[in-house]
Chain A
Amino acid sequence: MAKIFRYKNLSATIADNENVIFSIEILSDGHVGETLINIPGPNDPVITDSGSVNLGKAAALKGKVILSYSDVKVLAPESQEIRVKIKLNGVLLQEHSNPIAVADRAVISLEFKIQ
């Protein structure tokens, strides 16, 4: 079963004319991961395992709540934790870690705003 870890009221400062690049890096070996970023509009981007996606110009996202959900499972026998780094434009927004003993599948939910 998945355990949901929620991180709320996060924020990042990005200049209006810059693109917002959302990146997820799953550090644990033997991982399977899917990430969905809920941005205003109908097309929510998805990242498989680790990777980056352009969310658009910062000006268009300012003041709006952005939600992201990463479902991560680790299957390598020697991995003893789930460790994930989520960044905006290369700057760490949130790092998550939990021992496999607590959950070998984690849903990491982020609620953040661009300032």
Chain B
Amino acid sequence: MKSYLLLMFVSLSFISYGQEALNKIQYNTSPASSIIGLQPSVVLTPKTHQALETALFSNFLNGNNLVVPNDFALEFTPYWTKNRSLSLEEYLYPKSYLEQFKRGLSFSIASSQNYLLGDSSASNAMAIGGRTTLYFRQKHHRDSLNLQLVKLRSNMKTNIAAQSALDEFYLEMSTLQETPGVSQDSLTFVFYTALQGKFKDILFSTGAFSTKEETEQAVVKIMHHLPLIDWQNTDAFSDSVSNLLDNILAYNQVAGNLKKLVKKREESSIDLAYASLINFPQSNFSAIYLSKQTAWITIHQKWLYTNERTLHVSGVLRREWYNDAFYPRFYPNLTIYQNNTDLGLSVKGIWDRFSLSIEAVYRSSNSEIPAGTDAFGNELFRKEKQNDRQVLGSIQYTLRDNVVLSYSLGERFDPILNPGNTLVSLLSLNFGFGGPTTDNVDLTR
């Protein structure tokens, strides 16, 4: 059996952002890169929220022709190219499925200067695609989120009310300091006494604790841990109060729960995608063919064990249509079916920066072939069918939050050219761009 080797490799230097992104970029599986054959995977992984993703490919074919093309794939999500001022509730729960559709809508483009025709000559080809992701609504998720949000908002209201009270006290104390006969010690005593009463009022009014006893215990705790005020540096005292309130109100726990809930919202989703392949067999605009069209419906389910360890299972239904005018002309004497229906399953595990995935896809190919005419001159057709399968394993490593290195190995469907050459070995690098960088935000504040 002949072997087919596709090796993709890129080595580029890059700069990445310093913060931890919750939704990291993954191996590029855009509709356009899939239909043009830059990546062999049938199952499209869920789109990240990066406004722009791009992959650079370079391949070497070990057939009769050695070609070194500059292949390129890009996926663009217009909605997320700018801030939309969405509150967390608006961000997680769009008002309608139409709004979800708009937000998730991405467009992809891919190109190759070495799309091989039936006679092994290289031609130009371009693919365009679009897709969107819809998340299933889960009432229990929203209830849990609302519960944590009430706690966070109560924490925030307590904090800003305390800061406001402190600044008021500082202003009053600065007036008192100028009063003759008032010592620094007596001023400090008055300040702490007033503060104790104010904290009690604030904690009651923001509903931070459910009972009077709990509130009073919290105030005692705050007063016990307060540092001694330096009247020359009241900002430091205010910072300490803010941190103390966060500890007393278990801010870290509430924030952690919210982060988990934001990630959990992506547990169940459905991905709809479409792509078209456009061929320029004579490398000019006199002959352009819409040679192939593909549509995907992919259902994803994710299980979140920890923030860094997840299991993803995806089921895909893919339909491909081949152009009757293009393939018989440019791939003569090769068996090409009019359409393929693929049914597949993909399982992916992510452990910190590593991820391992495997996909298995069953294919049913069909054609209706003209078989002359009957006695009345009506055209007759005969049906041809064939089955095939693809099994592919991939390992990915996240180099940086916006850069992913991926290697795939497996057996693909019989390709149109050189049927039987089904071995796939693929190395690729994927980049994500989006949001501001440290260059355009003010770091001096």
Contacts and interface: CB of A to CB of B under 8 A. Distances in A.
Interface of A: 1-2, 4-6, 25-36, 38, 44, 46, 48-50, 65, 67, 69-71, 73, 75-81, 83, 96-102, 105, 107, 109, 111
A77 B262 contact: yes
A84 B75 CA distance: 29
A78 B434 contact: yes
A46 B20 CA distance: 32
A78 B84 CA distance: 12
B153 A97 contact: no
Given A4-B163, A5-B445, A77 B85 contact: no
Given A29-B83, A71-B156, A99-B18, A44 B255 contact: no
B445 A30 contact: no
Contacts of B435: 78-81
Contacts of B371: none
Contact of B91 (A29, A38, A97): A29
Interface in B243-280: 243, 246, 251-252, 255, 258-259, 262-263
Nearest to B246: A1
Contact of B85 (A26, A44, A100): A26
A27 B83 contact: yes
B1 interface: no
B294 interface: no
Given A96-B445, A109-B163, A30 B153 contact: no
Contacts of B80: 78
Contacts of B438: 99, 101
7 contacts: A5-B445, A26-B85, A30-B86, A49-B87, A70-B160, A75-B88, A107-B160
B160 A32 contact: no
Contact of B436 (A30, A81, A96): A81
B17 A78 contact: no
A29 B80 CA distance: 9
Nearest to B17: A80
A105 B255 contact: yes
Given A4-B235, A36-B161, A105-B255, 10 more contacts: A1-B242, A50-B85, A70-B160, A75-B258, A76-B86, A78-B80, A80-B436, A83-B441, A98-B442, A109-B167
A67 B169 CA distance: 13
A101 B259 CA distance: 15
A48 B442 CA distance: 25
Interface in B14-39: 17-23
B246 A2 contact: yes
B273 to A, nearest CB: 20
Given A29-B86, A75-B262, A34 B153 contact: yes
Nearest to B77: A78
